[in-house]
Amino acid sequence: MSGTLQGLKVVELSAMGPAPHAAMMLADMGAEVVRVVGPAPPVGGYDVGTHLQRGRTTVRANLKDPAHLAGVLSLVAEADVLLEGFRPGTAERLGLGPEACLALNPRLVYGRMTGWGQDGPLAQRAGHDINYIALSGALHAMGPAAAPLPPMNLVGDFGGGSMFVVTGILAALWERERSGQGQVVDAAMVDGVSVLSQIILELRSVNLWSDTRGANLLDGTAPFYRTYATSDGGHVAVGALEPQFYALLLEGLGLAVEDLPERADPLQWPMLAETFAAVFAARTRDDWAETFDGVDACVTPVLTYAEAAENSHMAARATLSGSGRHVVAAPAPRFSRTASVARQPLGETNFDTIMSSWRTS
């Protein structure tokens, strides 16, 4: 074992979405994570595979069986962190709620990952990423004027979800060093997405962001911050926000500023975008990538995941590995002394083996 979290003992009550992603990150950073799963695969979906299970030991348990519940509680008594992603009240009904676990282990940091949070009118309502970002206001701001467009499930599940529960767990562990006491971390995607939206809320407050979708600087409307189709069916991404980058963009496109509509006037944006679109459409994506290679015009090719793994910069940092459909991400962030490691799943074991290891470590 290695990493910044070496020696940290974590019990993960298996769930889907951001909770296993958070457990993966903790394991990547060196935590010893034991993943407690049910006796059978989940109904109506697949059990998270090797990508998200990496670095963890698995133990199967029927949490309605008193003997199995006792085994999980024995782990909780030795653990530093418990992570669960159930609907509010589920862990309590199973006998694994915060009150029971903290009574057994007062130093325990109990991480709870939900979409709506542990309280509020919607706490018991089902939902998915798209619902959480919709209610937070973020989804309304995404996509073209005609309709909101969900950004896969990256914003709610992982940006507003797993990133925040990991942050909360680490903060609670730091506080425990002073107080000697554990506590509950209530990480809700609606909360996390709202924090991620803070810069947009700031822009709204000074009248630099409109609630009208398709009319803002960063929503794909500005001709110098959007994507353009190329002659081969590919796309390039343009992010030339600052004047110096915009000047280099025009130079690469072979355009003169005096021949173009005023970029600072949103009413002129459609005409300016049409001009850019026509120029980009005349050449292939890779031609444009070569034109702007080494140029601070903030122009990059839009790559597939397979292409990204082979990109020279991504490959130099080993950010992605594999090829074709089998591409995986390296741990992040990076540390100068205690490197994180993406380890394969550590297989299944039993409570006795884990307890023997934990009590002697």
How far apart CA 172 and CA 162 sit, in angstroms, is 15
Report CA-CA distances (Å) from 19 to 85, 115, 176, 187.
6, 11, 22, 10
| Structural tokens at position 79 | 């653990």
Contacts for 45-53: CB closer than 8 Å, 24+ residues apart: 45/16, 48/16, 48/20, 50/344, 50/345, 51/328, 52/20, 52/21, 52/24, 53/20, 53/24, 53/345
CB distance 339 to 2 below 8 Å = yes
Question: Do the bridges between strand 109-114 and strand 183-188 make them parallel or antiparallel, or are there none, so unpaired?
Answer: parallel
Pairing of strands 81-84, 9-13: parallel
User: Which residues have a catalytic role annotated?
Assistant: 128, 157
Of the candidates 175, 171, 176, 200, the residue with the CA atom closest to the CA atom of residue 187: 171
